Amino acid sequence: MKLLVYFSYTGHTKYIAEIIKQNINCDVIRLEPVISYSNDYNKVVNDEQNQESSDKIPEIKDINIDLDLYDTIIIGTPVWWYRSAPVIRAFLKKYDLSNKIIIPYATNAGWLGKTFNEIKSLCSNSKVVNEFNIVFTSDYNKNELVTPIETIKNWINNI
């Protein structure tokens, strides 16, 4: 059984999660920090730039799900300053995903940075496969894809 776990601040990663859910049989969980991020986008961008090289991660809400039920975890993250979002790093540190198959996808505006390499090192006891990068335009108010939808559907069909 597959579980899709994602975090989304402006909705892009959620939009992709919904497309995945329409196409494959999986349960879905949206991660939330205990203390919500500001609604002021530029403030979040600036605050997080100061955290870029820090390993400080937020506390996240409990997910209330039995991870033993799942052999495959799809993980969706926006890219925040060339890394996975801190909420995703918090999830990977909080829960034991040993021996599971991890399929990460990232959404971003074209600067992926070390996102997937870092996820691989955080999941060193799991098998990380089929990582996929999805680019949106930098207009964060819209779900405007740069990556062709056919390319995304091909990836979904192979996971």
Ligand X SMILES: Cc1cc2nc3c(=O)[nH]c(=O)nc-3n(C[C@H](O)[C@H](O)[C@H](O)COP(=O)(O)O)c2cc1C
For ligand X, the binding residues (CB under 6 A) are: 8-14, 44-45, 48, 78-82, 107-111, 113, 136, 140
- For ligand X, which is the closer residue by CB, 2 or 30? 30
Closer by beta carbon to ligand X, 69 or else 107: 107
Distance in Å, CB of 136 to ligand X, minimum: 5
Compute and round to an integer the Cα radius of gyration of the chain: 15
Smallest separation, CB 154 to ligand X (Å): 20
Check residue 112 and report its DSSP letter. -
State the first-to-last Cα distance of the chain, in angstroms, to the nearest integer.
Answer: 12
Whose Cβ is closer to ligand X: residue 43's or residue 127's? 43
Distance CA 88, CA 48 (A): 14
Q: Are 88 and 75 in contact (CB under 8 A)?
A: yes
Strands 72-80, 83-84: pairing is antiparallel
Of 46 and 154, CB closest to ligand X: 46
CB of 66 to ligand X, least distance (A): 26
Q: Quick one: 78 or 104, whose CB is closer to ligand X?
A: 78
Closest approach of Cβ 126 to ligand X, in Å?
23
- Please, are residues 16 and 76 in contact by the beta-carbon 8 Å criterion? yes
Largest CA distance in the chain: 39
The answer to whether the beta carbons of residues 133 and 106 sit under 8 Å apart is yes
Nearest distance in Å: CB 125, ligand X:
27
